[in-house]
Structure formats: C-alpha cells, structure tokens
Amino acid sequence: MDMTLDEITISRAIVTDHLNTLIEYMEMDVAVIGAGPSGLVCAALIAEKGLKVGLIEKKLSIGGGMWGGGMMFPRIVVQQEAKRLLDRFGIRSSEFAPGYYTARSVEAVTKLAAAASDAGVEFFNLTTVEDVMIKGDGTLSGLVINWQPVEATGLHVDPLTIGCKMTVDATGHDAVIARQVSKKCGKPDIKGEGTMWADNAESAVVAHTKEIFPGLFVCGMAANAVFGGHRMGPVFGGMLLSGEAAAEQILKRF
C-alpha cells in the first residue's frame, strides 16, 4: 500500500497513546518504584496474577545495577538458590564453580523486562517520585510524581498524583520512598547499608524484604538500606529472590 507518512499523525499517536495510559494508571493496584532486577521480578510476578501494576523508573533505561555487570564486564553471578529464577525467566547461565552461575547482564535485564511487559506491567520511565500521599488512616495510598528532567534541572513545576493500593520501594541503595515516608512520619527508622559482605547481604536482603509502613514494602538493596544490611556487589541472586518475596507477600493481600 502506497502511504505517505505524516509527522503530525506520528506525534499525535505518541501523545494520545501515552496520555490515555497515564490516565488509566492514575489508580493502580501496585506501584513498583525502581526498575532494577528486584523491581522487575516483583512487578512481573504480581502482574501475572492479573493485578494492575505500574513500574516507575527515574532513568531513561531500566535494569539498575544489573546492566553494567561487574565494573562494566557485562556478566553477573547468581548463587545456587536463585538459579531457578534465571531458568524461570529463560535467562541462560553456566556453572563457573559449584554453586556459582554466570549470566549475561544484558540478556538478564532484557528478559526480565520482556517478562514484565508480557505480564501486563506498564512502564513509566524518566519519572520520579518526589513525595507520598498518606491520609487519615495512616496508609500510603498515593505517589506524587514528576518528570525526572524537572527534578534534575530544579524547575519549579508542580507534580501530579497517582493512587495505588500497595507501593514497593525498589529504588536500590537510596531507598527513596522509605526515606520520604521516614522524613514525614518519623518512621521507619532508616539504618543505612553496611560495607561489602556478599554472603551476609545475600541472605539479609531476602529477610529484610517486608512491609515497613502501612502500604509500603521494600525489596532489593532498598531493603538492606532500611535495615542496615550489607551490600553485595555484582551477585544478583538476592535481588531476584527479594523481588519474588515481595510479590508473594503483596499477592496475599489481594
């Protein structure tokens, strides 16, 4: 078919489609903040059960620290306990030593993202959460969002608000949502993460994955930052298991 492309129609299509989606997701079941490995796993597993899930990421790209592997070597390590999640998401791996499996970081991120997308997760990248909404019942029930470039350039542009029944802080080392709630409400107490100690950190991050304020769960490095757990570097099994643990806990609430 002979068709002339019209630039205005292209622009109208992009704006219309995304604005309609944004309007639809002004209210959602679960908002996951941070599209690193734990956030991707959490969002994918929740959306698979038919819940409306929005994944908010401040950066242009998703994947968090997993993209870069270890010091820009595009490989990650996953321990024995988490290999089943690599298999579940179709991420190829090979055994380097007993209990140590290597995987390609780019493949891992893209397959987790594809799984989340296939499950029905809606992505909102270049979007930052600058505040939270907590009303009379003391439950976190909404997020105050803005474009990340607005925050980065310090422009005085008022934000918008979205509603969510549950929120997951998967923002990594900064634990952004937990710190916002702590600053406004005096809890939870944010202990900050400890030094590098992979063995301790990998088990702690799963144990620390839980609800820390009514309506707010933490997973991934945000969980260790809240509870004082250590960091683990480019071993990502704990991240995957933490995302799974958060999803399981949240699904029990619906």
Q: Burial, 8: exposed, middle or buried (Cβ in 10 Å; 0-12, 13-18, 19+)?
A: exposed
Has 65 been labeled as part of a binding site? Answer: yes
Distance CA 193, CA 227 (A): 7
Neighbours of 50 (CB within 10 A): 11
Has 27 been labeled as part of a binding site? Answer: no
Has 166 been labeled as part of a binding site? Answer: no
Has 184 been labeled as part of a binding site? Answer: no
Has 135 been labeled as part of a binding site? Answer: no
Distance CA 250, CA 29 (A): 10
Has 12 been labeled as part of a binding site? Answer: no
Has 131 been labeled as part of a binding site? Answer: no
Has 208 been labeled as part of a binding site? Answer: no
Has 221 been labeled as part of a binding site? Answer: yes
Has 58 been labeled as part of a binding site? Answer: yes
Has 157 been labeled as part of a binding site? Answer: yes
DSSP string, 195-249: SB-HHHHHHHHHHT-EEEETTEEE-THHHHHHHTPPB--SB-HHHHHHHHHHHHH
Q: Which residues are annotated as a binding site for NAD(+)?
A: 38, 57-58, 65, 129, 156-158, 221
Q: Which residues are annotated as a binding site?
A: 38, 57-58, 65, 129, 156-158, 173, 221, 231
Q: Which residues are annotated as a binding site for Fe cation?
A: 158, 173
Q: Which residues are annotated as a binding site for glycine?
A: 231
